[in-house]
Amino acid sequence: MSDRYDRAVTIYSPDGHLLQVEYAQEAVRRGSTAVGLRTNDCIVVGVEKRSSNPLFDERSMRKISMLDNHVVMTFAGLTADARVLISRAQAEAQSYRLNFERPVTVEYITRFIAQMKQNYTQSNGRRPFGLSCLMGGFDGDGKPHLYQTEPSGIYYEWTGSSTGRAGTTAREYMEKHAGDTVDSMDEQTAVKHVVRTLMSGTEMSEPQLDVAVLRFNQPLRMVECQALDDHMRAIRGEIEAEVKTRLVPNKL
Amino acid sequence: METLLGIKGPDFVMLAADTTHARSIIVMKEDQNKIHKASDNLLISTTGESGDTEQFTEFISKNIALYKMRNGYDLSPRAAAHFTRKNLADYLRSRTPYQGLHVCRWVCFRIHQRYDETDGAELAFIDYLANAKSLNHAGHGYGAMFCSSIYDRYWHPNITQDEAYDIFKKCIVEIQKRLVVNLKNFNVSVVDKNGVRNLEPISAQSLTDYNASS
């Protein structure tokens, strides 16, 4: 079926699918896992950094970037596509400041990105962005928001979400463990949940991840490697303890 | 008629600008701030057609912010001055030039950064034809004509902030004495390694007991 209907993005297949868009979603599903969490006063985002080569300089891989002083973004999917999208969003954020003398709201910049993605699903000679983005930030009133966009141009708001290779398992973990308590969570706990969510999706021996915390009117803070290591060690301990308690009743 | 003044020291740049906003023969307001904070370590003072100065300064500030956002570090003062000059020059040659953006002056301060250790305080002078020059002391407008000799007499390479502020006082005394236009009040701002700070404005009132020859 797909041998004719996936040549141009603007062509539907007979059963109503836009196959190029679905392929873009597949690119996201194969991308590295990205997680975002919103508590009542901060945004925590984390992303998995896969590097197979020991000679690779990990600092050159930046998957968490700022769109403006108050909005942070991470993504799953094609990194090259992300660079273009981030660049456009940053320009829009400054342009908005120039025109309206106020910073963008998180929803506005999300809508801008979603709109751009949608455009690329409906115009000829283009290819949809192979990207799912998580945008977290603060509005003028100091309220944190976390949004997500898809390659098709859909966007949602979340208290916590994840996307990429282990996106579904990661989200299930969050629903189970961080669902009701998110609002009252402190920063340490939130970071730990993000690390654990990322760990739940992948086998990880050393911290192959970036985690960042954004607070109202403060610059973005990357969580240090040492702190991540400590969190991971603590989490491994927790997991072992949980496994034990689960095993004991079975043995009885 | 409007006057801008600037002094560069070893580790700071100080700016003064009059606060008069006049249209034709009428003074519209006397508290117009002409010194804009463009980023954490950057001040721009501009005079000219009032809408144009505002628009141009904002445009430059936002582009500098964008540069920082995209690259993770600030534009160097020299690069920033060149960017401003280039924009002004391009607009001058376009169909929509900034009408009579007479003068625009740029000042930046940068503590050492690992990629460019030579950058320190920088005072860039850019005029309406988009000439740019890095100077130790500078001025725009009729008022500045009375100041060159004062700068020459009192400026020295190791000047302190107090001395620079005092030079401005001397200049303003002279301006208020000799210039036919009434420039009552001057805002003063300084940029140094701690960032941008507004100093006490210098006005005719604050200068009543000032002895310029001391």
DSSP of chain B, one letter per residue?
---EEEEE-SSEEEEEEE--EEETTEEEES----EEEEETTEEEEEESSHHHHHHHHHHHHHHHHHHHHHHSSPPPHHHHHHHHHHHHHHHHTSSS--TT--EEEEEEE---BTTBTT--EEEEEEETT--EEE-SEEEESGGGGGTHHHHHHH--TT--HHHHHHHHHHHHHHHHHH-SS---EEEEEEEETTEEEEEEEEETTTTTT--TT-
Q: How far is A140 from chain B (nearest CA, A)?
A: 18
Q: Going residue by residue through chain A (252 aa), what tens digit of pLDDT does each one get?
A: 567 777 677 788 889 989 999 999 999 999 999 999 999 999 999 999 877 788 888 878 889 999 999 999 999 999 999 999 999 999 999 999 999 999 999 999 999 999 999 999 998 888 999 999 999 999 999 999 999 999 999 999 999 999 999 888 888 888 887 777 777 889 999 999 999 988 876 677 677 889 999 999 999 999 998 999 999 999 989 888 888 887 766 554
Q: How far is B60 from chain A (nearest CA, A)?
A: 10
A119's enclosing H/E stretch is helix A106-119
Q: What is the pLDDT of residue A195?
A: 92
Distances (CA, A) of A77 to A47, A60, A116, B54: 11, 17, 16, 41
- Quick check: B59 and A98 CB within 8 A? yes
Query: In CATH, what class is B4-213?
Result: alpha beta
Domain extent, residue A176, equals 17-247
A94's enclosing H/E stretch is helix A79-100
Tens digit of each residue's pLDDT (9 = 90 or more) over B36-55: 988 888 889 988 877 888 88
B139 and B6 Cβ atoms separated by less than 8 Å: yes
Q: Mean pLDDT, to the nearest integer, of B202-207?
A: 92
| Cα(B111)–Cα(B115) distance, integer angstroms | 11
A121 and A152 Cβ atoms separated by less than 8 Å: yes
A107 and A147 Cβ atoms separated by less than 8 Å: yes
Tens digit of each residue's pLDDT (9 = 90 or more) over B93-138: 887 776 655 445 555 554 433 344 456 788 888 888 888 888 999 9
Q: What is the DSSP letter of A148?
A: E
B71–chain A Cβ distance below 8 A for any pair: no
B175 closest CA partner among B204, B206, B209, B201: B204
Provide the β-strand partners of residue B47: B103
Chain A hits for B69, CB-CB cut-off 8 Å, are 66-69, 90, 93-94
Whether residue A76 is contained in a domain is answered as: yes
CATH code for the domain of A126: 3.60.20.10
- Quick check: A90 and B62 CB within 8 A? no
A70 closest CA partner among A212, A218, A231, A181: A218
Nearest to A98 among B62, B69, B70 (CB): B62
Q: What is the pLDDT of residue B114?
A: 37
Q: What is the pLDDT of residue A120?
A: 94
Chain B hits for A98, CB-CB cut-off 8 Å, are 58-59, 62
A-B C-beta contacts closer than 8 Å? 21
Q: How far is A143 from chain B (nearest CA, A)?
A: 22
- Quick check: A98 and B69 CB within 8 A? no
Nearest to B69 among A66, A95, A98 (CB): A66
Q: What is the DSSP letter of A103?
A: P
B11 closest CA partner among B149, B147, B199, B164: B164
- Quick check: B62 and A66 CB within 8 A? no
> How high is the mean pLDDT of chain B?
85
The alpha carbon torsion through A45, A51, A55, A58 (nearest 10 deg) reads -10
- Which string of b and e fits A201-225 if b means at least 16 CB within 10 Å? bbebeebebbbbbbbeeeebeebee
Length of chain A: 252
| Cα(B1)–Cα(B18) distance, integer angstroms | 10
The predicted model scores a pTM of 0.84
- Quick check: B70 and A94 CB within 8 A? no
Single-letter amino acid, residue A38: R
| Cα(A20)–Cα(A118) distance, integer angstroms | 12
Chain A hits for B65, CB-CB cut-off 8 Å, are 94, 97
- Quick check: B62 and A94 CB within 8 A? yes
Count of the separate structural domains present in chain A = 1
**Percent of chain B at pLDDT exceeding 90:** 45
Q: Answer left, alpha or beta for residue A209, where phi above 0 means left and psi between -120 and 50 means alpha.
A: beta
CB atoms within 10 A of CB A173: 21
Highest mean pLDDT among A177-181, A240-244, B72-76, B180-184: B180-184
φ/ψ (deg, to 5) at A159: -90, -30
- Quick check: A90 and B58 CB within 8 A? no
Single-letter amino acid, residue B46: T
- Quick check: A94 and B58 CB within 8 A? no
Provide the β-strand partners of residue B45: B35, B105
Whether residue A198 is contained in a domain is answered as: yes
Handedness of CA A119, A120, A122, A125 (dihedral sign): positive
